[in-house]
């Protein structure tokens, strides 16, 4: 299958757009809604007999190990989204190593299987992070979003970025790019999140078909809090952050169901060549 599906497992109060109002220390004070929202996603996936990759935040896994086991037991891939959801380029190499290795170990302990995939919070990947991920025995990173317009996304300078969505960025280590739609000279993010909620579904669908005609793969991502229009509203943040977070939350479930009807998706693990065998720890 050429369409890949991913879910970034984090709670509504952990996102970068709300960081102005909610700092890391205050997370335990907020109502956790991730379980309810993940169960909704699992139900929708089950109805469509679709498997996905779940990039799980270590902080969530520690609080909800049963949830992670449930996702895994339904045949989905568990991958790593770091521990504390900090922008990778804001961390020293040592801190990044600590963040990602503690999350990986925790997830492997919970599911008793190997974790091979990583996604950086807000796609904030760097060259040195790729080296560290490869040294920790990850087999792929799915954080590269080659969009210049968005200043929060990370960049890779030292690795060859090829005209393919999935490519071997170093020996036995793959990059799985987030999808974009090329219009004139612009690359528009076309992989999910805010853009999926904002753009009318039939246009988004046309864009995916056009990407699938040109590229080797299409990669979609979504968050559990995007399915939750009833989440608490945080007001004291910048208007554009508020728009990014809250636009069309009530439409996600309907649009996501249509997406799964129109395309057949698979988890990322299924298309990474060298690790199809010997996956068990």
- Which 3 state secondary structure label does DSSP give 115? coil
Comparison of 1 and 147: residue with beta carbon closer to Zn ion? 147
Span of 3-11, 100-108, 138-146, 182-190 interacting with Zn ion by CB under 5 A: 3-11
Stretches 2-10, 40-48, 236-244, 250-258: which one binds Zn ion (CB under 5 A)? 2-10
The minimum distance between CB 189 and Zn ion, in angstroms, equals 15
Provide the H-helix boundaries in 112-160.
Answer: 127-135
Measured CA to CA in angstroms, residue 166 lies from 6, 63, 169, 264 at distances of 15, 33, 9, 18
- Residue 121 vs 207, nearer CB to Zn ion: 121
Of residues 10 and 177, the one with the C-beta less far from Zn ion:
10
CA dihedral sign of residues 13, 138, 274, 125: positive
CB 10, min distance to Zn ion, A:
5
CB nearer Zn ion, residue 8 or residue 173:
8
Q: How far is the CB of 86 from Zn ion (least distance, A)?
A: 10
CB of 167 to Zn ion, least distance (A): 23
Query: Rounded to an integer, what distance in angstroms lies between the CA atom of residue 142 and that of residue 275?
Result: 16
Q: Other CB atoms closer than 10 Å to residue 203's CB: what's the count?
A: 9
Q: Contact region for Zn ion (CB under 5 A) — 65-73, 120-128, 197-205, 264-272?
A: 120-128
- Torsional class of 117: left (φ above 0), alpha (ψ -120 to 50), beta (otherwise): beta
Number of residues that bind Zn ion (CB under 5 A): 3
Which listed residue (121, 154, 207, 224) binds Zn ion by CB under 5 A?
Answer: 121
Angle (CA) 251-33-231 rounded to 5° is 50
Place of tokens 């987030």: 178
Q: Which residues of 256-270 are buried (b: 16+ CB within 10 A; e: fewer)?
A: beebbeebebbbbbe
Stretch that binds Zn ion, among 90-98, 119-127, 133-141, 238-246 (CB under 5 A): 119-127
Question: In this chain, which residue has its C-beta nearest to Zn ion?
Answer: 8
Q: Are 118 and 140 in contact (CB under 8 A)?
A: yes
CA dihedral 257, 258, 263, 265 (to 10 degrees): -20
The maximal CA–CA distance of the chain, rounded, in angstroms, is 50
Residue 189, interface with Zn ion (CB under 5 A)? no
267 contacts Zn ion (rule: CB under 5 A): no
Q: Does 8 bind Zn ion (CB under 5 A)?
A: yes
Binding mask 44-83 for Zn ion (x = CB under 5 A): ----------------------------------------
Q: Which residues contact 195 (CB under 8 A, 6 or more apart)?
A: 188, 189, 204
Q: In the complex, which residues of this chain contact Zn ion (CB under 5 A)?
A: 8, 10, 121
């Amino acid at each position: 299958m050429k369409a890949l599906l991913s879910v970034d497992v984090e709670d509504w109060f952990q996102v970068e757009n709300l960081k102005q109002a909610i700092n890391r220390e205050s997370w335990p004070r907020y109502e956790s809604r991730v379980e309810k929202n993940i169960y909704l996603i699992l139900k929708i996936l089950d109805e469509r007999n679709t498997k996905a990759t779940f990039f799980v935040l270590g902080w969530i896994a520690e609080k909800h190990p049963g949830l992670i086991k449930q996702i895994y037991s339904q045949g989905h891939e568990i991958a790593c989204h770091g521990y504390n959801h900090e922008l990778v380029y804001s961390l020293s190499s040592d801190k990044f190593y600590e963040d990602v290795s503690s999350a990986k170990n925790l997830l492997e302990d919970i599911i008793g299987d190997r974790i091979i995939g990583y996604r950086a919070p807000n796609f904030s990947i760097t060259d040195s992070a790729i080296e560290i991920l490869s040294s920790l025995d990850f087999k792929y990173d799915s954080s590269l979003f080659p969009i210049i317009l968005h200043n929060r996304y990370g960049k890779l300078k030292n690795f060859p970025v090829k005209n393919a969505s999935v490519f071997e960025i170093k020996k036995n280590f793959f990059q799985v790019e987030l999808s974009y739609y090329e219009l004139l000279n612009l690359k528009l993010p076309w992989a999910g999140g805010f853009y999926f909620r904002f753009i009318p579904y039939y246009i988004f669908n046309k864009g995916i078909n056009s990407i699938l005609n040109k590229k080797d793969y299409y990669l979609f991502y979504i968050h559990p809090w995007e399915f939750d229009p009833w989440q608490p509203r945080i007001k004291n943040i910048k208007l554009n952050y508020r728009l990014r977070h809250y636009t069309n939350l009530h439409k996600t479930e309907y649009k996501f169901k249509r997406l799964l009807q129109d395309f057949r998706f698979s988890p990322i693990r299924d298309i990474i060549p060298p690790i199809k065998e010997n996956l068990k720890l």
